[in-house]
Structure 1
Amino acid sequence: MTLNVKPFERRKSRFYELLQEQVRHEFAASQQYTAIAVWFSGQDLPRLASHFYRQALEERNHAMMIVQYLLDNNLSVAIPGVDEVRNDFADAREPVALALTQEKQVTEQIVTLAKTARDEGDYLGEQFLQWFLKEQVEEVSSMTSLLNVVERAKGNLFHVEDYLARESIGEDDADGFAPQAAGGAL
C-alpha cells in the first residue's frame, strides 16, 4: 500500500500576506538606516555612522529571518523593492528621530502580525513572532535613549559619539534565540 502524502503546506492567510509585507518593511528600514549612516559618515561622526550601519544590517537580517520562516513553511517568497528613503537632514536630531519613529512603526507592524497569527489560530506563526516582539522593545528603548542623548548634547555631537563608544550600543547582538536568517546573518 502506497501512501500519497503531500509535503506540509500551510494555507496562504492574512498572516502570510502580512509576513510578505513585513519583508518589505524590514528591507525598507535597512535602506533608511543605511542612508542615515551615510549622512552621519558625511558629518564626520564615525560612531553614529557605525551604529546605523549595524542597524541597517540588523534590519536586513530581520527580513531574511522572515524569508527563512516562509521557506521553512513551504510558502512562496517574493523579495520586494522598497520606496525611496530620506537622505538629507538639517541636524543630527532629525535622523535619530526618524529612526525612533520607524522603530515604533515596526513595533506596531509586529504586534499586528502577532495578533493576526493568534486570531487565525496560527500558533507556529505566533511563536515565531515572540522573538521579534522582544526585539522591538529593545529597539524602541535603545533609539529613545539615543534621541534623548542627542537632545541633551545640545549640538555637541562629540558627547553623543562618546556615549556610543562608552555604552557600546548595539554591539552585543549575539542572541541564541534569534530565528535563523536565510543565507545566514551578516
Structure 2
Amino acid sequence: MTTTAKKIQPRESRFHQLLQDQVRNELTASQQYLAVAVWFDNEDLPRLAAHFYRQSVEERNHAMMIVQYLMDNDIKVAIPSIEEVRNDFTETRELVALALEQEREVTQEIVTLAKAARDEGDYLGEQFLQWFLKEQVEEVSQMSTLLAVVDRSNGNLFDVENFLAREAVGDEGTDPTAPPAAGGAL
C-alpha cells in the first residue's frame, strides 16, 4: 500500500485577493515612475531621471515579490493589466508631489493587507508583509525629503540634481531581508 502525501490546499481569502490587487498597484506604480523618469530625462535632468528609473524597477520588483509569495503558497496568480498612468506634467514639484502621494497610497494599501492577514489569522501572510511595511516607511521618508529639497531649491533644479548626486537618495543597495522576486530581482 502506497501513501501519497496530500498537498495542503490553500483557502481563498480576502487577503489573497488583496495581494492579487496589490500586484496591479505595484506594476501601476512602476509604470508611473517610468513616466516620471522619462519626463525628467526629456528635461535633461539625469539625476532625477535615474532616481525615478530606479524607483520604477523597485516597484516592479515589489510586484514580483508578491507574485513569488503567491506561487510559493500554491495560490493561482493572474498578472493584471495596469491602471492608466499620467504622462503630462509642467514642473518638477508636481512630479515629486505625485510620487509622495503615490507612496502614501501604497503605504495604506500595505497596511490594509497586513490588517486583512491578521484578521484572517494568516500568520505567514502577516510575516511576509513586515518587510513591505518597513519599506514603505523608507519610501515615504525618501519622497518627503526629495519634495522638501525641491521646495528649498526655489526652482534651481541643479541644486536638486546635486543633492541626488551627493546623497544617493533611494540607492541603499540590496536588502538581504527582502523577499525573493519571481524571476529574480532586477
CA distance in 2 between counterparts of 1:124 and 1:167 reads 36
Task: Answer yes or no: is the 8 Å Cα contact 1:34–1:52 preserved in 2.
Answer: yes
SS of 1:175's equivalent? coil
Shift in Å at residue 8 of structure 1?
2.5
CA distance in 2, matches of 1:9, 1:166: 51
d(CA) in 2 for partners of 1:184, 1:33: 20
Deviation at 1:5, TM superposition (A): 2.9
Aligned match of 1:171: 171
Retained in 2: the 8 A contact 1:29–1:56? yes
Give distance in 2, aligned partners of 1:150 and 1:83. 28
Name the counterpart of 2:66: 66
Q: CA deviation at 1:28?
A: 0.2
For residue 3 of structure 1, report the CA deviation from its aligned partner.
2.7
Aligned to 2:9: 9
Counterparts of 1:1-186 in structure 2 under 5 Å? Answer: 1-186=1-186
Contact 1:47 1:164 in 2 (8 A): yes
SS of residue paired to 1:89? coil
Cα-to-partner distance string for 1:35-88 (whole Å, 9 max, x where unaligned): 000000010000000000000000000000000000000110000011221111
After superposition, the CA RMSD in angstroms is 0.8
Deviation at 1:6, TM superposition (A): 2.3
Tell me how far apart the structure 1 counterparts of residues 173 and 118 of structure 2 sit (CA, whole Å). 28
Q: Which amino acid aligns with 1:170?
A: G
Q: How many percent of aligned residue pairs carry the same amino acid?
A: 69
Q: Distance in 1 between matches of 2:97 and 2:167?
A: 19
Higher mean C-alpha displacement, 28-37 vs 87-96: 87-96
Residue 170 of structure 1: how far off its partner (Å): 1.5
TM-superposition CA deviations, 1:9-48 (whole Å, max 9, x none): 3211000000000000000000000000000001000000
Q: Distance in 2 between matches of 1:26 and 1:173?
A: 20
Give structure 2 stretches of 5+ with no counterpart.
none
Cα distance, 1:4 vs structure 2? 4.0
- Partner Cα distance (2:38, 2:63) in 1: 21
For 1:163, the aligned partner's letter is: F
TM-score by length of structure 2 reads 0.98
Residue 173 of structure 1 and its aligned partner are, at CA, apart by 2.7
Q: Aligned partners of 1:15 and 1:115: how far apart in 2?
A: 9
Structure 1 unaligned blocks of 5 or more: none
Matches of 1:48 and 1:182 in 2, distance apart? 28
